[in-house]
Amino acid sequence: MTFGFAPPPAASATRPPITAEMSAATNQLARMLEPSEWAAAGIPLLRDPREVVSSLHTRHLPTPDTAVVAVLDQEERLRASASFARRASATADGWVCRNALLAQLRRVIPHDLRRRTPVRTAVLLFCREGDARWTQEDGAWMWGLRDACTLHGLRCGAYITLTHDGWQVLGEGRAGRRPHAQAAETAEARRALNGTAPRAPRIAAGGGGGAPTSLSRATAR
């Protein structure tokens, strides 16, 4: 009589192999923030979110799939902002969102990495289809904004969605009906009827510590 142990079953028989697609999907899910995580992160509250939203909407007239990133000073005055269109093929990946935001921040305002404590705050307004409920794409933009702020020496500020229902500061519950996503489309249609050129996405750049410079129209995609 002999004694021994049966060999363990092959790994392939107990667990399917992890593919590159599965690994990428797992990493992608890790690069997004849930509303509860965002609310617990200590994001500074806007004193007047309606004013911030109205100001950015007036400057950039965002249509669905357009992001507007803005930098505010300690008095919540706008120092710089840029609007750009999200790529139609882009997936909800915070790494992609972070890179897009960081590229725009580097174009419009110097970094504050030499400061021990950030004094300027970046906020993000994203115009999209659908209702105001949180989506995975919102989670990716939240993750991207937080990471881009860290890499540019800024405080991470509010994340705002703009839909046909109006605007909403995610994680705070503050919202309003105007402006809304359709307002920009209506403005563009009015320009078309009047025979004027459509308004392009813009970059509004300001000085580092002084008064903001005048706005210049440019395309940032």
The whole-number pLDDT of residue 197 equals 47
**What are the pLDDT digits (tens) for 101-127?**
999 999 999 999 999 899 999 999 999
Q: Of 27-31, 35-39, 191-195, which gets the smallest average pLDDT? A: 191-195
Strands (DSSP E) along 77-173, which ranges?
78-85, 121-127, 155-163, 166-169
Return all residues near 148 (Cβ < 8 A) that are at least 6 apart. Answer: 98, 101, 102, 105, 122, 154
Residue 178 identity: R
Q: What is the DSSP letter of 87?
A: P
The whole-number pLDDT of residue 2 equals 52
Residue 219 has pLDDT above 50, yes or no: no
Q: Cβ distance 86 to 135 under 8 Å? A: no
Q: Which of 120, 118, 81 has its CA nearest to residue 101?
A: 81
Both tokens of residue 204?
């509004």
Residue 123 identity: V
Return all residues near 58 (Cβ < 8 A) that are at least 6 apart. Answer: none
Mean pLDDT value across residues 155-174: 93
pLDDT higher at 13 or 208 = 13
* DSSP percent split of the chain into helix, strand, coil, nearest 5: 35, 20, 45
| Phi and psi angles of residue 54, each rounded to the nearest 5 degrees, phi first | -60, -40
Residue 24 has pLDDT above 90, yes or no: no
CA dihedral 90, 128, 101, 120 (to 10 degrees): -160
Q: How many CA atoms lie within 13 A of 207 on its CB side?
A: 6
Residue 14 has pLDDT above 50, yes or no: yes
Q: Cβ distance 41 to 156 under 8 Å? A: yes
pTM above 0.95, yes or no: no
Annotated domain spans of the chain: 15-204
Please tell me the distance from the alpha carbon of residue 100 to that of residue 17, in angstroms, as a whole number: 33
Mean of all residue pLDDT scores within the chain:
79
Sign of CA dihedral 151, 32, 90, 70: negative
Q: Of 7-11, 57-61, 132-136, 156-160, which gets the smallest average pLDDT? A: 7-11
Return all residues near 24 (Cβ < 8 A) that are at least 6 apart. Answer: none
**What are the pLDDT digits (tens) for 38-93?**
988 889 999 999 999 999 999 999 999 999 999 999 999 999 999 999 876 657 89
The whole-number pLDDT of residue 217 equals 35
The whole-number pLDDT of residue 172 equals 82
Percentage of the chain beyond pLDDT 70 is 67
Q: What is the DSSP letter of 128?
A: -
Question: Domain 15-204 adopts which CATH fold?
Answer: Cytidine Deaminase; domain 2 (3.40.140)
